[in-house]
Structure 1
Amino acid sequence: MVELARPLQDWFDARGWVVHPHQRAMLARAQAPATLLVAPTGGGKTLAGFLPTLDALASGGPDGLHTLYVSPLKALAADIRRNLLIPIEEAGLPIRVEDRTGDTPASRKKRQRADPPHILLTTPESLALLTSYEDAPRMFAGLKRVVVDEIHALAESKRGDQLMLALARLQTLCPDLRRVGLSATVEDPGAIARFLARHPDPCEILEADPGPDPDISMLVTEQAPPWSGGGAAYAIPAVLEQVRRHRTTLIFHNTRAQAEIFFHNLWLANEEGLPIGIHHGSLDRGQRARVEAAMVQGELRAIVCTGSLDLGIDWGDVDLVIQVGAPKNVKRLVQRIGRANHRYNAPSKALLVPANRFEVIECVAALEAVRARDLDGEPRGRGPRDVLCQHILIAACAGPFAADALYAEMTTAGPYAGLARAEFDSCLDFCATGGYALRAYDQWQRLKQRPDGLWQLRDPRSATRIRQNIGTIQDTDTLKVRWRGRGGAPLGEVEEGFAASLTKGDTFLIGGQIVRYEGLREMVVEVTRDPGRKPKIATFLGTKFATSTQLSQRILRMFRQQDWPELPRHTADWLALQRAVSRLPEPGRLLIETFPHDGRQQMVVYGFAGRNAQQTLGLLLTKRMEEMGLAPMGFVATDYAVLVWGLDAVTDPAPLFDLDALEAGLDTWLAGNAVMKRTFRASATIAGLIERQVGGQRKTGRQATMSSDILYDTLAKYDPDHLMLQITREEAMRGLVDFARIREMCARVGDRIDHVRLDRVTPLAAPLFLEPGRVPVRGMADERLMEEEVTRLLDESGLAGVETKPTWRVPF
């Protein structure tokens, strides 16, 4: 058995602690090239990741950087530093620990490059920036280990792709570098292991004892959930009662706007004045920090929050988690549940609060999945090429490079293991010239090839601009919100488009307060207090989650049951009535209902493909219906269905679902749609074609949009096969429109379509008529309605049958 260094063992003994089996196993695997540790929340996995480092440095060693820790959150890096200092200081270990994020002062960053600590805690963006400096080989010369925390969260985004390319660079500088990944929620350990390891090296997978099952159930309320909506206002009394019974409760929401509404309603009902806070990414950093400090000190009884508190930070004495709204994703739910009773072998306690009637079903399905330890996740596919372009520019900032060597290095990164040389060369050409349509402009002539074959920056001064724009996180176009008056305190941010819609006197919610819009001054939204009126709701972009494929399939399997004892009576009766009136959707089949309602013909498609895909399906189906002369008038989509209404009944829906026709329709729709321009702007910013920071000044959203729209239109006209347009289509297809899930639905269903014709609205379809976000369709239905109205007016006026066309002729 591997023994700990004496100072560390003495520290464990003094605390009465025993080294957990998975922590000791990590010590035994200290020399493995790559190790993925999957351990439950509160199981000491972060300490397990650091134990080999602490053990190696316990008796002293050379100065310099030994271990790099990478986290998805700046706050998590700071929290880990505080926790790491406890054993280091109490055991008297000669180890320096520092963090380096966007919040670190420039003076400390400069010193860290010259004199790095033994352990550096950072984020993917800060690491990418460090690798761009000429002195990176010196700074990382002694690096032995990299610990990637919450690796599942990074693997789901471009930040993870960026990180793996940076690790490939570090592995070139430090061939014996050891990699460690840590997570509590991994649905496919093999896939994460391949993501983490240096390709084609293996990665060992260590799965710790998962501990006791969480204590998780649905909150019992006196009032049944409404048929639609996402606010869950009906549950406020029951939630407040749970807050009274517990020390600290985290109340999670899926969107920032929902968190604001719920906090406002909770505060109005909080007659006892219990200390309650709100925390989300659009609030001012100072306000978030004050809430975090109060949580750690145990001064708050409840915190209404979003994904900003998802990950592994230990937020004080939290003993209950409440998830308001269906979690959409089992893995996310498990992560949030783990915030309660953050201790090893202590069951987490959580309650789910469905926002509406259908979410009752989804919440029960999620509960069953958690109990079965059945996590979900969508495969991301290969690494995107916009991140690859950015990495080429980062490499050029660090000094001249050989294309062959850089390509070989990049293909050791898991997400880019299958990268073809031709794809790399096209990215390199783009970075060097901007591509065919742009190569005449000096602005995009960024690289040149030397006589010896090496590539370098055409102008060394451009390195500063490239570094200022490193990163894959796409900021929303937001404006600061402050109290009116000189030196007014900041409140947070709202989207630029929302701010543009405000007129003086309008009210909205931010930070749980109702504020009155007074005006825009120097690109800052100035507000005053106005608690007396019903507010507008600020549009915080955030993330709008779609129900995962696995959770959708679990719901469909539930529908096959004869009855549903696990569901509340009102919901079970609802499903039973649907089965009696029509039928319930089934796995491997597609249920389509058609019926008349409110003078229009209705069609409901129960695709269960997630909100983004269902929204796209609505667009494509109405386009197909227009082509087939069926006169659609509009649609509305949810995670599980799309409702289309129009003038003509659909008698045979099968031709509408021809996959080739749907994809052709998608191409036509995308070509002239704002989705493509929005996606182009994001990818072009990551790839370095568009700069958001110039000379230390950030462009406004309007400036960035104008320049990206001009570029998009130019490339679409003169160079339609340009690399950036290829990337844009790939990103739109797998991101905003989620066409992959439509493909999966069509492949799963085949020709197994159940078309049920009815004479009235069905129970399952009824809530769709209450959904917001109805999308009108302008086309032949408008023309027919116009003709019918003209005919009606002529009949009323007695002019029916009278020639209404002009009989004269224009004499030319």
Structure 2
Amino acid sequence: MTVAHSPATLPSAVLPPLFDDWFASRGWAPRRHQLEMIQAAEGGDHALLVAPTGGGKTLAGFLPSLIELAERGPRPEHGQGSGVHTLYLSPLKALTTDVERNLMTPIREIGLNIHVESRTGDTKQSKKQRQRESPPDILLTTPEQLALFCAWDGARAYFADLKCVVLDEVHAIWSGKRGDLLSLGLARLQQFAPGMRRVALSATVDDPQLIADWLSPSRLGDEAVRIVKGDPGAPPVIDVLVSQGQVPWAGHTGRHAIPEVYDAIKSARLALIFVNTRWQSEFVFQQLWEINDDDLPIALHHGSLAAEQRRKVEAAMARGDLRAVVCTSTLDLGIDWGDVDLVIQMAAPKGSSRLVQRIGRANHRLDEPSRALMVPASRFEMLECQAAREAVAENAFDWEPIHVGTLDTLAQHVMGCACSEPFSLEDLHAEVTTAGPYRALSYEAFEEVVDLVATGGYALRSYDRFARIVRDRNGRWKARNAQVAQRHRMNVGAIVAAGTLNVRVASRRGGAAKQLIGGRKVGEAEEWYFEQLTPGDTFIFAGQVWAFQVITGTDALVTHAKGNDPKIPSWGGSKFPLSTSLASRVRDIIHDRDHWRVLPGDVQEWLELQESRSVIPTADSMLVETFPRGSRHFLVAYPFEGNLAHTTLCMLLTRRLDRMGAGPLGFVVTDYSLAIWSIRPMDRIDLNALFEPDILGDDLEAWLEESFMMKRTFRNCALISGLIERRQPGAEKTGRQVTFSTDLIYDVLRRHQPDHLLLRTARADAAAGLLDVGRLGQLLSRIQGHIRHEPLTRASPFSVPVLVQIGRERVSGDAAEMILDESAEALIAEVLDEEAPA
């Protein structure tokens, strides 16, 4: 149940004089939504605040706690009242640090005796130990640290005084496995402190009701959560950069516009240049550095850099020492860098909610417009940028998926509870089903999860290593021993990255052999990347050129180098999908000729050329073109459903085309289209039969059985559930060692227990995450009877961006861009030729 109040129905909240004077001293007045959050606290209500960036959301979340702590008496050193009062949870370490700095401003200026500290994976062990012995009043941390808290012995006593939990940027976390683990942690805290209030904050929620239901601590989801909505702020000013009056036909980096981006940086106080992948961040940073004739202080920030390097960049931003930072999503949530006056989005944003978050980093104040510049890398991206621009103007966010809690995440939580204190099945099931994603969890399914933690499942129960919990004399479950509990605490969390190696600067130890040893950590990159290198190969990382030397354990040792044509590492799984709502808007723009007038002239001409050479599809149909080119025959379709869904569809279509006798040879995809080429023509194939939704039945199952993706997904589920542990005291398994272990277990389970809980979970994860089956199913249903087939004699204008990808997927770095440029140039000339080829 949710309760939304309008200002007219609420009495005016009164700020205590201390706080009223502080607002006045800054020339401020408390905003309506800040007063409503105080009223919610006075009524003991849980609350969800949805307010624009720069509207004081974080302060609104903390104000009730600050007021309550200011009015309390002396804090006892031990016993009741000496524990954590407010727990703040953020999805980003950088945001936690930023909030600590900003929260100290009112505390210091008002003169409050309130102790605030942060705790993340980067916090020193000595400080963590001190926090355990002497808790701060307000503790700022991450969901992973909450999972660790839940696995502490003594956690119940530590959080007995907890009055409030503040969840910042809740939209970024609630619907995935991190959200599952967070929700289970909240349910645990509510058992420790029944009177605890839950407060969630966000600027970009499409459906507040969904989040409010998730936030509710009731088994039925019917405990009141007050939804508070902030007043709209000044609309952002969003420009789209059209480099030299032209938009490229194809591309994905925006390299063509780097000189204009550099000029924009020179005219700004501090610019944040957002990109969508870590590879792009390294690439764009290098491109800017090469033309930085003015020696502007430009920095780089992404999640694979060493924590020390990220902190240096953040500190330099706070001091005003930088002019630009090239960054990924590590800086796009809630961080208040006051001097940022320009946000640049390199390439299309892939979602309107993400764009709003990023734009909000500029002029982080509600009443001043944020300024943003989007840099489309291609003409289809130009359409996407325009769609995103219009979505932001309409305050329309990306649609939220409905999420059901995953069982591998629940297994991790069960193990954590056993490490903290013994539990009974009945009590823990009752607790777990108060967590939003697990309200429908049956007792039988819960028993199966507990059995997984206790035995590994019946196919593995004869192996002693999988017995992690045991019953005590009272029939309650507890950790098998202290060593098992320690290993669990070292492996908590729901973020599973591909196997990575620490990139360390090498030095030579004395002696005749002069052995290389690892020194300063530069960051992390994926293990498979280094396995392709030979000693002496050069690559760009952290904005510098390195020469690879050797892999030792979990470290890749490197030395400084100059090197010609250095490569850039590629990180798997880091590309954002095109959101469903933005894809729908792009299809609408293409269909609506009147809408074309807002687009650059060359993009309008491109659309008109497509209409004359092929056809412009309607918003509810899908265009399929077939044509010969060279000795091959092509089928190009335009679903506009994102790279992931298109890849899965191509894998299934090529199987079906093979059975139809077309002789498919390969495929490539973009976020907007897909291309398949074959030995025989495909222009007479029954396209309705080819795209029949039943392709998601037997074809999908057969393909999954053969696919390496299932093993990779199972590996992730095994790590999250704790069946396999990567980190152990004094050691850490390499990615290859983890993969070897999980592959063995996967094969055993497929033979002896094909309905094993983790196999079922892996199939569901593969369908949702790796394959985007749900979105694919919606696409196939939508286009049935609405496929527009155009047999052509040559490639169409729309087909150029996807066709130039052929051959490029096996090349990286500048070489890939060169291939893209050269093949695009030849293909564009072919498309523009007035005379059709013989």
TM-score normalized with structure 1 length: 0.93
Mean CA deviation greater in 479-488 or 508-517: 479-488
Q: Residues 442, 773 of structure 1: CA spacing in aligned structure 2 closer, same or farther, 3 A cutoff?
A: farther
* Correspondence for 2:513: none
Matched, 1:265 2:299: no
> Following TM superposition, by how much is the alpha carbon of 1:4 offset from its aligned partner in structure 2, in angstroms?
2.0
Could you tell me whether the CA contact under 8 Å between 2:493 and 2:720 is conserved in 1?
A: yes
d(CA) in 1 for partners of 2:807, 2:384:
21
1:330, distance to aligned residue in structure 2 (A)? 0.7
Note the C-alpha offset of 1:553: 0.6
Q: 2:548 aligns with which of 517, 533, 537?
A: 517
Q: Give secondary structure in 1 for the equivalent of 2:71.
A: coil
* Aligned amino acid, residue 355 of structure 1: A
Of the candidates 156, 166, 171, which is equivalent to residue 190 of structure 2?
Answer: 171
**Alpha-carbon deviation of 1:420?**
2.3
Q: Does 1:302 align with 2:324?
A: yes
Does the 8 Å contact 1:253/1:259 carry over to 2? yes
Equivalent position amino acid for 2:141 in 1: T
1:54 aligns with 2:58: no
Partner of 1:484: 506
Instruction: Return the letter of the residue paired with 1:424.
Output: F
Query: 2:794 corresponds to which residue?
Result: 760
Q: Deviation of residue 289 (structure 1)?
A: 1.5
- Is 2:97 the partner of 1:92? no
Secondary structure of the residue aligned to 2:173 is helix
Query: Match of 1:16?
Result: 27
Candidates 597, 610, 629, aligned match of 2:642: 610
Task: Find the counterpart in structure 2 of residue 141 from structure 1.
Answer: 160
Q: How does 1:686-725 map to 2 (within 5 A)?
A: 686-725=720-759
Distance across 2 between alignment mates of 1:610 and 1:339: 27
**Local SS of the residue matching 2:597:** coil
Q: Which moved more, 1:692-701 or 1:45-54?
A: 692-701
Counterpart among 524, 537, 540 of residue 571 in structure 2: 540
Deviation at 1:331? 0.3
Partner of 1:101 in structure 2?
A: 120
- Give the stretch that moved more between structures: 727-736 or 715-724: 715-724
2:250/2:800 contact within 8 Å kept: no
1:313 matched to 2:347? The reply is no
- The 5-angstrom pairing of residues 376-391 of structure 1 reads 376-391=398-413
Aligned partner of 1:632 in structure 2 is: 664
Asked whether 1:29 is paired with 2:40, we answer: yes
Deviation at 1:156, TM superposition (A): 3.7
Tell me whether 529-538 or 156-165 shows the greater mean CA deviation: 529-538
Q: Where does residue 101 of structure 2 map in the other structure?
A: 82
Contact 1:229/1:771 (<8 A) preserved: no
Moved more, 25-34 or 218-227: 218-227
Contact 1:625-1:656 at 8 Å conserved across structures: yes
Alignment map for 1:203-282 (pairs within 5 Å):
203-222=225-244, 224-282=246-304
Superposed CA RMSD: 1.7
1:573 corresponds to 2:585: no
Q: Does 1:732 find its partner at 2:744?
A: no
Matched, 1:658 2:670: no
Partner of 1:505: 536
Code of the residue aligned with 2:61 in structure 1: it is G
The superposition leaves residues 702-740 of structure 1 with CA deviations (integer Å, 9 ceiling, x where unpaired) of: 111110111111111111111110000000000011111
Q: Aligned runs of 1:445-456 on 2, under 5 Å?
A: 445-450=467-472, 452-456=474-478
* Distance in 1 between residues matched to 2:323 and 2:809, nearest whole Å: 41
SS in 1 for 2:368: coil
Question: Over residues 281-334 of structure 1, what are the superposed CA-to-partner deviations in whole Å (9 max), with x where a residue is unaligned?
Answer: 111222211111111111111111111111111124000000001000110010
Tell me, in whole angstroms, the C-alpha distance in 2 between the residues paired with 1:379 and 1:691: 30
Q: Distance in 2 between matches of 1:195 and 1:157?
A: 12
| Cα distance in 2 between the residues matched to 1:169 and 1:569 | 58
User: Does structure 2 retain, via aligned residues, the 8 Å contact 1:282–1:540?
Assistant: no
Deviations 1:639-696 (A, max 9, x none): 1111000012221222112222333111111112111111101111001111011124
TM-superposed CA distance for 1:9, in Å, is 2.2
* 1:324–1:354 CA contact under 8 A, matched in 2: yes
- Aligned equivalents of 2:178 and 2:93: distance in 1? 14
Match of 2:370 among 336, 341, 348: 348
Given that 1:605 and 1:641 are in contact with CA atoms closer than 8 Å, whether structure 2 keeps it comes out as: yes
1:139 Cα offset (Å): 0.8
SS at match of 2:778: helix
Distance, in Å, in 2 between the alignment partners of 1:462 and 1:560 is 60
Contact 2:538–2:563 under 8 Å retained in 1: no
CA contact (8 A) 1:468 1:696 kept: no
CA change 1:532–1:458 in 2 (3 A) is: closer
Q: Is structure 2 residue 142 aligned with structure 1 residue 126?
A: no
In the alignment, residue 267 of structure 2 is paired with which amino acid? Answer: R
Q: Which moved more, 1:124-133 or 1:416-425?
A: 416-425
- For residue 199 of structure 2, the aligned residue among 173, 177, 180 is 180
1:530–1:462 distance in 2 versus 1, CA, 3 Å: closer
Deviation at 1:64, TM superposition (A): 2.3
Match of 1:786 in 2: none
Contact 1:609 1:639 in 2 (8 A): yes
Deviates more, 1:264-273 or 1:659-668: 659-668
> Amino acid of the residue matched to residue 732 of structure 2?
R
Distance between the aligned counterparts of 2:800 and 2:573, measured in 1? 29
What amino acid does structure 2 have at the position aligned with 1:210?
A: P
Q: CA deviation at 1:469?
A: 1.2
Counterpart pick for 2:461 among 416, 436, 439: 439
Q: Is the 8 A contact 2:352 2:392 kept in 1?
A: yes
Moved more, 326-335 or 746-755: 746-755
1:574, distance to aligned residue in structure 2 (A): 0.7
Aligned residue identity for 2:793 = D
Counterpart-to-counterpart distance in 2, 1:626 and 1:303: 49
CA distance, structure 2, for counterparts of residue 244 and residue 412 of structure 1: 53
Q: Aligned partners of 2:792, 2:653: CA distance in 1, in Å?
A: 20
Mapped contact 1:252–1:322 kept (Cα < 8 A): yes
Shift of 1:383: 1.2
What residue in structure 2 maps to residue 422 of structure 1? 444
Partner secondary structure for residue 418 of structure 1: coil
TM-score when normalising by structure 2: 0.90
Number of residue pairs matched by the alignment: 776
Q: Deviations over 1:13-55 (max 9, x none)?
A: 2222211111111111113431100111111110100000011
Distance 1:775 1:119 in 2: 49
**Partner of 1:463: helix, strand, or coil?**
helix
Matches within 5 A, 1:801-812: none
Is contact 1:635–1:775 with CA below 8 Å preserved after alignment? no
- CA drift of 1:532 comes to 5.1
Task: Return the offset for 1:460.
Answer: 4.5
Letter in 2 for 1:419: L
Q: 2:133 aligns with which of 104, 114, 120?
A: 114
Q: State the distance in 2 between where 1:699 and 1:316 align.
A: 42
Q: Contact between 2:338 and 2:363, CA under 8 Å: does it hold in 1?
A: no
Which consecutive segments of 4 or more residues in structure 1 shift more than 6 A?
773-776
Superposed displacement of residue 243, structure 1: 0.8
- Aligned residue number for residue 66 of structure 1: 85
Residue 706 to residue 156, structure 1, CA distance change in 2 (3 Å):
same
Mapping 1:195-210, distance limit 5 Å: 195-199=214-218, 200=221, 201-210=223-232
CA deviation after TM superposition for structure 1 residue 66, in Å: 1.1
For the pair 1:559 / 2:578, whether they are aligned, the reply is no
Q: Is the 8 A contact 1:482 1:492 kept in 2?
A: yes
Indicate the residue corresponding to 2:57 in structure 1: 45
How far 1:438 sits from its partner (Å)? 0.2
Distance change (3 Å), C-alpha of 1:231 and 1:52: same
- Contact conserved, 1:298 with 1:316, CA < 8 A, in 2? no
SS at 1:19 equivalent: coil
Q: Given that residues 67 and 147 in structure 1 are in contact (C-alpha distance below 8 angstroms), is that contact kept between their aligned partners in structure 2?
A: yes
Q: Do the aligned residues in 2 keep the contact of 1:595 with 1:761 (CA within 8 Å)? A: yes
